[in-house]
């Protein structure tokens, strides 16, 4: 077996999340010199599938781990990282590129060993530059720990100017260490779920949708207050709120008794996640904070519309049109935006969809060029000493 020069690791690659690495890897000109280590449930045929066979959320109903899940997940992470260390010890890998979506000390120790002992170059792909926190977590502590990842790395990859600014201004990362290429727009058909025709069918219902992890920074209260105003104005559409609920957040929904609202609370398998988007006319993302999000590219790839808050993360996304924004935290303005969208003619919505297709094709070309520029640089650096 040929040992590759660059090892690309992304533990969170089951289902839809795996489309991210698939788009990066399959757009590389020199992928014969790149190995990928991914989730056990990664959909493509290539890659070392070594992460999270038993503790992935997608199979929690099968294994019924309950409160043991996090302990099993820790053991599985140790196993996978030890396998990666053995792979690094036995070959000619020069660069380790790690997609960071968590804050686990084991991952930092793995990267420290790879750099300080094995003398490899370290690249980190940044999803959420400033980490999200749970109701009982300390942000300052998580930020201090995350900073150790960033300052250990030789190169950091981001997907927008907002992420670049947070690294440089907040974490004091030298600008020369940061590289950027666009967030990929995934080809949903890669998942082979057997319902591709649904995407191209006319939208039957008239509904808004929020979908995603229901953390506090996602602005759910802003959306529910806006929906209350829409109901007073006599809107004849419906609202669906779908996603996993962190501990302590379920009580938020008890404070709102609103009609025409459907809740799909909990983990959504891939087919249900994508079908839920396809059944909506417009997805509303009222975030009050965020660094990066894979939801807009998925929504636009499925040819559905967006209404989003005007936080910098969304403002930096070239695929989101200027008329999609409302002032972050402003329920009144969001309600007006939703009411105006509900009044839009089917012809106008069809015209918007056609324009998006053209924009997405151009965007994918820019993504391909950006990915290859960054990874060509990483591969060329592998011939230089650390």
- Give the distance, in angstroms, between the CA of residue 165 and the centroid of all CA atoms in the same chain: 19
Residues 3 and 93: beta-carbon distance below 8 Å: yes
For 86-123, what is each residue's pLDDT tens digit? 999 987 899 999 999 888 899 999 999 999 999 999 99
For 264-276, what is each residue's pLDDT tens digit? 988 888 888 888 9
Q: How far apart are CA 362 and CA 359, in angstroms?
A: 5
Q: Report residue 124's pLDDT band, with 50, 70 and 90 as the boundaries.
A: very high
Please tell me the predicted confidence (pLDDT) of residue 195.
Answer: 47
CATH architecture type of domain 6-187+364-381? 3-Layer(aba) Sandwich (3.40)
Q: How far apart are CA 379 and CA 376, in angstroms?
A: 5
For 330-354, what is each residue's pLDDT tens digit? 999 999 999 999 999 888 887 887 7
Q: Is 100 helix (H, G, I), strand (E, B) or coil?
A: strand
pTM, entire model: 0.84
The 305-309 sheet, strands edge to edge:
261-265, 238-243, 207-211, 282-285, 305-309, 325-326
Task: Count other C-beta atoms under 10 Å from residue 235's C-beta.
Answer: 19
Across residues 254-261, what is the average pLDDT?
84
For residue 154, what are the CA distances in angstroms to 114, 123, 199, 291? 12, 6, 41, 21
Place of tokens 């099993």: 72
pLDDT at 210 exceeding the cut of 70 = yes
Q: Report residue 201's pLDDT band, with 50, 70 and 90 as the boundaries.
A: very low
Q: How far apart are CA 202 and CA 195, in angstroms?
A: 14
Q: Which DSSP helix (H) or strand (E) runs through 307? A: strand 305-309
Q: Which DSSP helix (H) or strand (E) runs through 379? A: helix 346-381
Delimiting residues of CATH 3.40.50.2000 domain(s) in the chain:
6-187+364-381, 192-362
Q: At what angle do helices 331-343 and 220-232 cross, to 10 degrees?
A: 60
Does residue 251 or residue 209 have the better pLDDT?
A: 209
The CATH number fitting domain 192-362, selected from 3.40.50.2000, 3.40.50.620, 3.40.50.300, 3.90.400.10: 3.40.50.2000
Q: How far apart are CA 313 and CA 3, in angstroms?
A: 38
């Amino acid at each position: 077996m040929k040992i590759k020069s660059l090892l690309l690791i992304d533990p969170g690659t089951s289902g839809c999340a795996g489309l991210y690495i698939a788009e990066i890897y399959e757009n590389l000109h020199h992928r014969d010199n790149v190995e990928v280590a991914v989730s056990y449930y990664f959909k493509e045929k290539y890659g070392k599938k070594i992460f999270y066979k038993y503790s992935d959320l997608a199979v929690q109903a099968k294994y019924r781990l309950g409160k043991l899940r996090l302990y099993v997940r820790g053991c599985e992470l140790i196993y996978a990282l030890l396998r990666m260390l053995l792979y690094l010890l036995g070959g000619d890998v020069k660069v380790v590129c790690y997609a960071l979506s968590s804050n686990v000390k084991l991952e930092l120790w793995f990267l420290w060993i790879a750099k300080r002992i094995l003398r490899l170059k370290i690249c980190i792909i940044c999803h959420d530059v400033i980490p999200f926190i749970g109701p009982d977590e300390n942000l300052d502590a998580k930020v201090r720990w995350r900073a150790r990842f960033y300052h250990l790395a030789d190169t950091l990859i981001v997907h927008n100017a907002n992420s670049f600014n947070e690294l440089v201004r907040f974490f004091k990362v030298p600008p020369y260490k940061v590289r950027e290429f666009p967030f990929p727009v995934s080809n949903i058909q890669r998942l082979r779920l057997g319902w591709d025709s649904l995407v191209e069918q006319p939208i039957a219902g008239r509904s808004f949708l929020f979908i995603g992890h229901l953390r506090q920074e996602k602005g759910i209260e802003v959306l529910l207050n806006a929906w209350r105003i829409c109901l007073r104005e006599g809107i004849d559409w419906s609202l669906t709120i779908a996603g996993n609920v962190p501990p302590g957040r379920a009580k938020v929904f008890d404070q709102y008794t609103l009609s025409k609202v459907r809740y799909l609370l909990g983990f959504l398998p891939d087919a249900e996640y994508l079908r839920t988007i396809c059944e909506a006319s417009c997805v509303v993302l009222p975030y009050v904070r965020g660094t990066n999000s894979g939801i807009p590219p998925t929504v636009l790839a499925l040819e559905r519309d967006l209404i989003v808050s005007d936080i910098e993360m969304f403002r930096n996304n070239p695929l989101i049109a200027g008329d999609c924004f409302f002032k972050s935290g402003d329920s009144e303005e969001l309600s007006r935006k939703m009411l105006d969208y509900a009044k839009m003619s089917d012809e106008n919505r069809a015209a918007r969809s056609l324009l998006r297709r053209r924009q997405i094709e151009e965007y994918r070309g820019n993504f391909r060029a950006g990915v290859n520029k960054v990874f060509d640089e990483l591969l060329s650096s592998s011939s230089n000493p650390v």
